[in-house]
Every structure is written in C-alpha cells, then in structure tokens.
Chain A
Amino acid sequence: MAQRAVWLISHEPGTPLCGTVRFSRRYPTVEKRARVFNGASYVPIPEDGPFLKALLFELRLLDDDKDFVESRDGCSRINKTSIYGLLIGGEELWPVVAFLKNDIIYACVPLVEQTLSPRPPLISVSGVSQGFEFLFGIQDFLYSGQKNDSELNTKLSQLPDLLLQACPFGTLLDANLQNSLDNTNFASVTQPQKQPAWKTGMYKGKPQVSISITEKVKSMQYDKQGIADTWQVVGTVTCKCDLEGIMPNVTISLNLPTNGSPLQDILVHPCVTSLDSAILTSSSIDAMDDSAFSGPYKFPFTPPLESFNLCYYTSQVPVPPILGFYQMKEEEVQLRITINLKLHESVKNNFEFCEAHIPFYNRGPITHLEYKTSFGQLEVFREKSLLIWIIGQKFPKSMEISLSGTVTFGAKSHEKQPFDPICIGETAYLKLHFRILDYTLTGCYADQHSVQVFASGKPKISAYRKLISSDYYIWNSKAPAPVTYGSLLL
C-alpha cells in the first residue's frame, strides 16, 4: 500500500501546453518495489513533461481535442472510474488515479504488488483507495480557507515539507495535511503516550463545543402525469470541540421533533467510537414505514483538534419546501412562460435569500421581455439569456407567487450564450436558490443539554442550523425532461 508518485497540475486552457505541473513528488523506494512486483509489465514513472501531456490528452483537456481519436474516443475504451491508463512512449502507465477539481488536476500512481498483465481488478489494489485519500487530503489542504491565488501558491510551496511528514516514503501516514503542518510548527515537546496520531497537540483554553447542522435540499419537479417529483435532504453535522485533555470523550445526540423525518444513510467520522445498529441500518434504500428509527441519534466520539464533519445523513421529508410548476411554450418568435411557486406552510417563512434562476439555453440573447409578477423583482441578463426572479426574505401571506411573460431572443452567437446538452427545444428548467437560517427541514437539532462531555471544566455549547437549496430544479411541464429511475416509481 504505497504511492509511486504524486502530481498537482493546473489546467490552463489556451496556453501552449494547456497546463503546468505545479507540484510533483516521486518515491524511489516504492518505484524499486514496483519494478520487482510488476516484472515484465513494469512501466517506469515518466518525467513531468510527458506525464502532463499524456494526462491532459486522456482527460480530454487539450485545446485541440476536437477530432475523433480512436485510442481515447473509441467506443470500447470505456472508463468507469477516475483511474486511467496513460500511453507514454508506447507503454501504458496504469493505474493513474486522477481527477480535476477547481482547475487543478490531482494525480498519483499507486503501487500494484503483482504483475500488471493481466490487470488485477482495482478492488484488490490497496494503493488505490490510499491514492484517492491522499489526493483528497491535498485538495482539502489547498482549499480549506484559501481565497485567492497567492494563498494557493503559499500552500503549494508548503507541500514538499508537509509530505515529508505525512508521506515520507510513499506510504500515506495521515491524509489530514493540516495535522502535519501543525506538527511542524509546534514540535510538541512533551507528547504523552497514547496520543492519537490524528491529534497532534492539546487544546489549552476555555472549553467549548460548537455543533452546526447544515441541510441541503435538492429536488426535481416535473408537474407531470406518470413522473413523480423527487426531493431529498442531505445533512452535514460539523463540530469543533475545544476541550482540554488528551482524549476527552464527547457524546452528541441529534434529536427529531415528534413529526420529524427520520435520518437515513448515516456516515460518520472515523473518530466516532461506536454506533447503534439502528443508525447503521437506517437506509433510504428501504421503503419507509412508521417503524423507522427516529432517534435520538447518539454519536460518542473523541474529537480531533480541528473542525470536522461528525456525520452526514440524508432524509426523505414528506413534502418539498417549495412546490412549483413551470410552463414554457414556443410561440412563433417568442417564448411564453408561466411560473408558480408555493411555499409549504410548515416551512419557516424567513429566508436569508430566495431566488429563482430561469436560464434559456441554446438560444440568442434576450431582446425583448414582457412580464407580470405577483411578487418580487425580475432581473434580466440579456447577453447570458438569463432571468433572475428575486423573491426576497418572505413569501406573501398566501404563500403562493407567480410570474408570467413572453421572451424574445436575437440571433445565436456561439461564444456568449450558454450551451446545454439537455435543454433542447422546449426542455427547460428553473432553479431555485435559497437559504433559511436556524432551521432544518427534517427538524433535526442538537439538544445542548444532551451533549455529554467527559473532560475537565463545563464547556460552553453552541448549536447552529441552516437549510440551503442545492440542485433544486423545476422542469418545464410542457416538454420532455430528464428523469431518474426513481421518478418513474410511482
């Protein structure tokens, strides 16, 4: 279980090479083992230049990627994971774990401890999951709290020293690079025994525990016969525990009100020491019934120093917070649109913001607009062919608002107006963006009194909640729309 090399590459479309290697690190002792294990099928780690070129080609990130190239676009070259084979100098380097995120390509080559021909299944290669974790760790480090390019550069320049700590020989010791940074900065003099490896120091100060629950709600609404609307809540519970002692124990309970929606698909942080089997088995895969476990959900754990995601969950609430319909019809030269949105009465009518984005893809700029709205204001982005309906902080008393109008478009010019492979013809959507503070759709809350802390001093406990929309689509009911299998199960 080790990595032979790791790279960070910035994707720079429009430049001659389309990218630059920002960081690379090779592990020669692992490479030596690779040569022995792989035998005749061994392919050495290339230098940065050839690697960059081959990776960008494979990921289809070169500027001149317009033509059909059999070795990449052939119908039998199916890639179903983020793990690639790169053709370099006539040989294929495999497995290369790689993904693109925020214009940075994260890549590494895990050691395979056997011959590569025939290729072993990825599941049997221990280095693959380690490679992913390594890259995710670097990604978290680069983007945690980072705001601009110079901060990114600073963090990139810290990487060589950090990897000397976190991965000195290609075997990853800690995916949390921030730990290694703290370790370098404050070489702890008196680390006692049995200090967890994921906790590099000790907190000194006023004890406090902060718990914040963020729920994202996504939805696909069709307003159609035979297709069910779908919606789902995804929750993240983030904790920061500032507690003294080597290994303070904390138990946090998440509670639901009497009519709350059960939490499902719960994934916990590795610091959670034990789990109730009801938590482990409560899953969205099963049909819901009244016997579903509805809490309290207890999570005993030993917190790390930093802020961490204690758990994730999903939930199926009975109704979507905002129910809408969207009708769009092409009438000769113009589009006629009608939109109706209704806030469910059980939802807290106090938004931080609420907007409906109505994009028009694959068309020219908006040249003319006539509209009538019962509430809120409409902003027009003519060149982007986009309307934004600003609903504001509150729905009116009726809880129901509408917008109707006609839109006319100019001639298409390819550079400016957005292309979308799905919104063809009358297939169209509007997307809702909203945020409600101090509220969760499931009703889930962390009861401050039920937080148990086994550490010296009584900590101050604070809890926060918020609901955010995410991928909240309402499709034009007058045209075909992409459905998921779940929508067909009525």
Chain B
Amino acid sequence: MGPLSRDAWAQRLGAFRASPSAFMAGPEGEDLGRDLLGDLRSEKLSEQTKVSLLALSLEYPAQLWPDVSAAEVAATSLLDTLVLLPPRPSALRRPLLLAATTALAAGGALGPTSGASCRLLPLLLGLASGSDLGRGFVPASEQRPLQATACECLRELESCKPGLLGGSLGLLRGLLGQEGPVQPLSLLLALVLRNTLVLQSRVGAGLGGLLTDKVSPTGGGPWDWTLVEKGDGRLQPQAPSWPAAEEGEGERSLTAREHSPEEARELRAAVIQLLETSYLLTPVAQAQLLWLLGWALRGLQGQPPALFKPQLVRLLGTAQLTLLHAVLALKAAFGEALFTAQDEALLLRRLTLAAQHPALPLPTHLFYLHCLLSFPENWPLGPEGEEAAPLLLGPQLCRGLLPSLLHDPMALLARLHLLCLLCAEDEEEEKGQLPSPRHYLEELLAGLRQRAALDEGPWALATVCFQASYLVSRCLAGQPTVLTPLIHGLAQLYRVRPMLASHFVDFLDQVDSELREPLKVVLRQEVVSRLGRDEALCWHLKMLAKVADGDAQSATLNFLQAAAAHCTNWDLQQGLLRVCRALLRAGVRGGLVDLLQVLARQLEDPDGRDHARLYYILLAHLAGPKLGVALGPSLAPPALASSLVAENQGFVAALMVQEAPALVRLSVGSHGVKGPLPVLKLQPEALEPIYSLELRFRVEGQLYAPLEAVHVPCLCPGRPARPLLLPLQPRCPAPARLDVHALYTTSTGLTCHAHLPPLFVNFADLFLPFPQPPGGAGLGFFEELWDSCLPEGAESRVWCPLGPQGLEGLVSQHLEPFVVVAQPPTSYYVAIHLPPNSKLLLRLEAALADGVPVALRTDDWAVLPLAGDYLRGLAAAL
C-alpha cells in the first residue's frame, strides 16, 4: 500500500483516538504501527501531518508496537528517519527524538543489548553537550532547542533506568557551568545526582570522581551500564519515605552514605551551583529541583540542609502551589534541621493564609487545607498518617478557616473537619472563647439541615448535610453535648422531609452504635407517631424497615395496621412486608402474627398476600434463631433484580439444604481387629466450625451390607476430634469403595450438603483373627483349619519378597494379630478370618535373604488373587 494522503491519515488517527482498543481490534489495527513508520519518510506528506503521526506514537507506543522487539525496530526506524532528514531546519527533529525515546523507554527495549539504545544514547548526550555532530546534522537555528530536548530525553531515560547517566555527572555539571540551557541541564543533573547517590549508597560506595570527571562516558567506546545494573532496574521514588519511613531505609541512608571530604565538598558545590541558578527555572521546575535535591541530601553526612535556607524566604512569599508544596517536602525531609520552631510557625502561618487567600482558586485552598491537616510537624504528637490540626495551629490562626453555609460543599466539609478538630480539643481552652466553636458547629449543622429540608432543594444539599453529620459523629464521638442535638436535629429533618429516607438509611449504616441506636429510636418514634394518611408512606415504610426492632412493638404494629389500609399498590405493600420482615428478624412475635394473618387475607395484590402468608408460616413454624437466619440477607446473588426473587433465594438458602463445598475431611486410620466385625477407624477434620454433622456412606457394588450413618455433634478446626468407628458388614470378603456424603449446619445456621472424596476399604481392612486356642494348642488348631480348606477351597504358593527387616519385621508389622504358631525368626503360621465366613491360612517358612515362600490355603476361590496381590504388596509397603 502506498502512502496515505493527509486526509486519510487524519481520518485514521481520529478513528484510532476515538477508541484505540476498538481500532486495534479492527482490520486496520495491525498495520498502523508499520504504516506510520513508513509514511514518516514519505515525501508526499507535509511536516505537520508527520508531526501528528509522531504525536500519536508518543501517546500510544504500546498499542503501535506491542512487544520489545517491535519497539526496538520502531526506535531504529525513527532514528534512521532522523538521520536521513535533509540538513535544513525541520519541525521533525524534536518529535523524532521524543518518539525514539518514548518507543525505547515505554517498550522496555532500553538496555545494553539494544542496538537502538546504543545509537540513541550517545546521540542524545552529544546533542545535550552541544558538540558538533557533523554533516550539518543539526542546523544552527535548531541547536539550542535540540539541546534542551536531548536533555529532556535523557532525563526521561534516566527516570526509567536509574543510573544510566551516572558516568556523565561530571560532564553535565561542566555544561551547566558553561553555556548550556539552564533549566533542562539543571533538572537532568539533579536527577542523575540523586539517582547516583542512592545507587552508590546501596552498594556502600561514594561518588568517587564521578562529579569531577568531565569526559564523556562513552569516550568513543560502548555505553557504561554498570550503575544501571547495580540498581537492578529499581525505580527511585521522589520522596521514598514520606510519611512513614520504610523499614531500614532510614538507617541505611544515615550510615551507608559516607563520603570522603573531597567528595562531600564537590557534592556541596554541585548542589549550591544548582540552587543558586534555580531562580532561572520556571516555578514548576524549581519545585522539581527542590524535591529531588531535598530527598537526595536527606541524612547525608557533611551536607547541611542549611544549603536550602537562602531559597526559603523567596519561596515562602509566593502563592505558587508547586513551590509551597516543595517547601513542605523540604520540611518533611529535614524537619528541625532546616526549620526552627519559629520557621515552622511562619510556614504554618503562610499555609494558613494561602488556604483562605481570596486571590487563590478553590482547588488550591482545598489542597492547602489538606496540607494543614497533614502538616509535617517537627514534633508531631498524634498518630502518624491521621489528619490532625498541628499543635501550633491554634483557634486564633484557624479563625478564618472555619466553615460557613456560603462555602462550596467541598470547602465546607474540609473546613468543618478543622472545626471538629478544634471542638475535640481540650474543653478547658474553649471556655475563654466567644463564641464557642461548639456552639458555632451546632448552628452550622442546623443551617445545613435547613437547606437539606428544602422541598425543591437539589440532592447535593442533602448529601452535604449527611456527610457533615457523619464527619461530626466521627470526630466528636463520645461527646453527648454534640451528638444529642445532632440526633434531634436529624429527627426533625426527617419530620420535614421524609423523602430523604435513603440518606437516613445510609447514615444509620455508617455511624457507630453510640449514635445509631438513639437515632433509630427517635426516628422510629417520628415514623410511628403519624398514623396512616400520609403521602410519604413509602418513605416511612422504608425508614421503619431500617429502624424497627423489638422495642416499642405495639406502636410499630399499630402504625403498620393503620398503614395497611393505605397500602393500595404493589410498592407500598412490599414496603409494608419489608417492615414485617424486619420485625420477624428482630424476634417480634405476639402482635405480628395477627397482623400477618390480616395481611394474608386483606392485601389486594395476590403476591403480597402470598408473601404475608409465607411470613406467617415461617413465624409459626421456625424457632427464633433459624428465623433470623432465614430472613437474613440472601447469600446467593439474585438472578433477577427483583426483590421477590432475591428474597426467595434467601429463603431457599436458609431453609433448604445447600450444596456446598466440603468443609470436612475424612482420613482412614489404623484399623482395629477386635470384635466380630471389621471396623474402619475414620479421622474427621473440619475446616470451619460445623454442627450436627451426619456422614452417610454407600458401598459401591453392594459388597457390604448398607452402612449406618455416623453422627458428630460438633467439629471445630484445630480441636482434635475423636475417631469415628465405622463397622463393616461384608457380604463377600472384598475391598470396596465407599461413597461419602456429609450433611451439616454451619455456624450461620445454614444446612449444607457436601460430597466428600470416596474412601477405600482395603483387603487387609477386613482381616479378623480367629479366636485364640488355649495355650499350646495352636499348631493343632492351625492344622485343622489348614486341612478343612480342601477340597472345596484352593491352594497356592506365593513368593513374598522381603525387605531389609526380614521375615520377623514383616510379620510383626502386618500379620501379628493373626499369627497362630510362631517360631521366630524362621516360621510363622497365620490364620485370618474374613467375614462373613471365609478363611485365609498362610505358612511362611524357610525365609531366604530376599524373600519367603508362602504356602496359602483358603476356602474361598475368590480370595486367592486378592491374597496373592496382598502378599506381593507387603514388601513394597515396608
């Protein structure tokens, strides 16, 4: 495809910007990155169009060149395009440099193995140092802008790969002292200096000659990546340990960074050089410089923070947000070492002033207010990370920062917070003040409620009122003198504007019980005191569903009875039933039974009647706790956004058995051989507390008689449970698989059913001993059994391999209970009873080193292969 026209590109870029993901998924997506690189060299496109193509690549390199290799190819192509530009002024050089830098840094291709990186870095450094790159590469008119751009590119690369320019420190410093553009070089030098200090201190090294070495790090040779490698590619945060010091970081910064006197002197000289010319930088750039240098020098021996002092007075006088913020960062970094108590007080005053200065815009005021409440004090008293008024910010200083109804909502809330903090402070202090802040707070809240009560008032007014009330309740918890009027004021607000029920419900959900419980009481009184005939019935019902509980039952029920007559539509009936439900949950029974019966008969809507009947049935049949669970919030997310469906799912969850993942594990323990039947010993283990556990077993293939269920009253994780005994009644002597189901109740009252992994009954689990014959009669008894097996039974000989323990070990481990005659260590006669009525007889004699021949007889043909497998498997089990 040939190059696109200007319009075609404009259209294409427009489509891409509208939704990059959609465009890239479309047919044109794949080629965009390639076409863009190609058309940058087209002679048909204007420079303006090419700049717009490059602008796109500056924003979306990840979409255009999604992987490292593509980014590398793109950067190479961009560099080629740059080199091929004719030697006349062009608007493309700057954006091409920016684009190549972006492609490498954002695409993750920047590194020693990347060819493009190895071309770009020396090129940038050459441009930044203003050296002649030959062949008219840079037209004279572009030299300075490109020098600045190259510095910016290097700074971005250094940000993404700290240490990249560590070797150029001396060179950059030299440039700053000579002819270079001040701002780009200052910022680059400050960043490289900071990164190098951090990286060197990490390996316990000083700066060495880095600050004085004025040779280009490449020196014609390859780029030096050693510092980058020392940093493991870890990025360097601007203020690494503000507010809370990272573990160990603080200590290291104090101890590991030792510099020789010469190093320290050079470093100080470099910092002073940067600070002294900082007024030539734009305010935002000055701020960056201060952040960088402040946190780089923090804790550095031999670098007194007083270096910053000459800048401070100048900075404190300005209203520039970034500058004052940078001063606060210095304050946080150095504390008392840079700001004496008087300085701290002055800074606080300037901040207080800026937070209310009429010449500054609202967002600035709000940010300064935040800074005031998070002010990095020299000697903070309160817990770290919590907003608090600084100690020096007394009531006098705060006077102009207090809220009034005329403020914008955000300003009002921010200032209200300050007022609350003032009120929360020592009450003693407050007595002297007129008017008392607490009184003022009360008036303000009353004003807010009055606005929220306005009929036509926008919701935002109500929202602010509740947010303010919440803020007050949180800051002034435990102060009845504040909370009591708040509660009554809110009750009054509800009386005037019940439409705000949603806000009230949310408010009740958020506040502490200290406020919630009394507020619920007054709100309930507020609702139930209005009998029937109210347009706001739906809000009252919503409110009551939240606040109704076991108290004041009769008033609540009276209200509901009266309301029932007015609940003529589905909505209202549902509201009414929700209140009934809340009462059910609260354990109200008496009068509610009657009400539900009435509702089940009288409600117009059949759905409502059904619901009332359901509640009635639940009330009549379920015990209190179960009822509570049944009516609790539904566990399953509703499939439909309908209250009924949601509620039904809740019931289903509570009243029916739930399929659930198994909360219990069973393992088979050693089996006992006492008694007339084989018994499986099971060890249960619970993952959560469970109650009334019933384990049900089913034998596959009906090999055994049906098994009884096993009951456990309660299982708790971590508490050892007694083993469960499961007697088996084999119908034939064969191993089997048991299907296991568990039925249990969770601590939340739900009944659950779970399918557990199957259990296996092994052949040996069925072994029982014959009754022991009287002493000395063993041999005769065995011979009798031996002979009785034939002719109906079967006989066989098996080679049983022996492990290192020999025959004696094998017998004692597996066959001990069944040995009838023993002549250790050479000969054992073993008789095993296999229920229901089979026998297995073994003679183990004349053992060799690696095995023993076993003669075996059984009266049951079917047992023979099982016995053979068993014996052969014994050695493996040893």
Chain A contact residues, CB within 8 Å of chain B: 1-2, 24-29, 31-33, 36-37, 47-49, 60, 65-68, 70, 73-83, 97, 99, 113-114, 120-124, 126, 128-130, 132-134, 136, 160-161, 164, 168-169, 171-176, 179, 183, 187-189, 191, 193-198, 216, 218, 232, 234, 236, 265-270, 272-275, 277, 279-281, 283-285, 312, 314, 362, 414, 419, 421-422, 424, 482-486, 488-489
Contacts and interface: CB of A to CB of B under 8 A. Distances in A.
B145 interface: yes
B700 to A, nearest CB: 46
A31 B470 CA distance: 36
B435 A198 contact: no
B313 A274 contact: yes
Contacts of A176: 282
Contacts of B457: 419, 421
Contacts of A121: 243, 370, 374, 385
Contact of B239 (A126, A174, A267): A126
B284 A75 contact: no
B481 to A, nearest CB: 19
A81 B367 contact: yes
Contacts of A49: 19
A484 B406 contact: yes
Interface of B is mostly: helix
B825 interface: no
Interface string B96-107: 001001100110
A479 to B, nearest CB: 12
B144 A191 contact: yes
A7 B446 CA distance: 39
Given A79-B413, A482-B404, A485-B440, 7 more contacts: A75-B510, A82-B363, A129-B321, A169-B156, A175-B322, A274-B313, A284-B400
Contacts of A124: 239, 242-243, 332
B741 interface: no
Interface stretch (B461-469, B554-562, B842-850): B461-469
Given A28-B106, A197-B280, A129 B367 contact: yes
B799 interface: no
A385 to B, nearest CB: 14
Nearest to A170: B156
Contact of A274 (B179, B314, B358): B314
Interface string B510-536: 100000000000000000000000000
B787 to A, nearest CB: 76
Interface stretch (B285-293, B591-599, B728-736, B804-812): B285-293
Contacts of A120: 243
Contacts of A26: 59-60
A218 B285 CA distance: 35
B235 A47 contact: no
A76 B367 contact: no
Interface in B378-401: 385, 396-397, 399-400
26 contacts: A28-B59, A29-B101, A36-B235, A48-B17, A48-B18, A70-B506, A75-B467, A80-B370, A82-B367, A114-B237, A120-B243, A124-B242, A126-B238, A126-B326, A160-B55, A168-B149, A169-B101, A171-B156, A173-B184, A194-B280, A236-B359, A267-B357, A270-B286, A273-B314, A284-B353, A484-B404
B291 A1 contact: yes
Q: Give the residue among B282, B451, B502 with the most A Cβ atoms within 10 A.
A: B282
A309 to B, nearest CB: 8
A269 B291 CA distance: 20
A456 B353 CA distance: 38
A285 B353 contact: yes
Given A197-B280, A482-B406, A312 B346 contact: no
Contacts, number: 327
Interface string B436-468: 010010000001001100101111110100110
Given A74-B506, A173-B282, A164 B55 contact: yes
Contacts of A270: 283, 286, 318, 320, 323
Contacts of A28: 58-62, 102, 106
B235 A129 contact: no
B816 to A, nearest CB: 57
Interface in B404-435: 404-406, 410, 413-414, 417, 434-435
Contacts of B105: 29, 32
Contacts of B313: 274-275, 277, 280
Interface of B: 17-21, 51-52, 55, 58-62, 94-95, 98, 101-102, 105-106, 108, 140-142, 144-145, 149, 152-153, 155-156, 159-160, 178-184, 235, 237-239, 242-243, 277, 279-288, 291, 313-314, 316-326, 328-329, 332, 346, 349-350, 352-354, 357-364, 366-367, 369-371, 374-376, 385, 396-397, 399-400, 402, 404-406, 410, 413-414, 417, 434-435, 437, 440, 447, 450-451, 454, 456-461, 463, 466-467, 469-471, 502-503, 506-507, 510
Given A65-B459, A81-B370, A175-B282, A75 B325 contact: no
B235 A122 contact: no
Contacts of A195: 181-182, 280
A194 B182 CA distance: 6
A193 B180 CA distance: 7
Contact of A75 (B280, B406, B466): B466
Contacts of B61: 28
B354 A267 contact: yes
A285 B349 CA distance: 8
Contacts of B510: 74-76
Given A26-B59, A120-B243, A482-B404, A133 B357 contact: no
Contacts of B94: 164
B61 to A, nearest CB: 5
A326 B51 CA distance: 63
A288 to B, nearest CB: 13
Contacts of A414: 456
A183 B282 CA distance: 14
B353 A273 contact: no
A280 B317 contact: yes
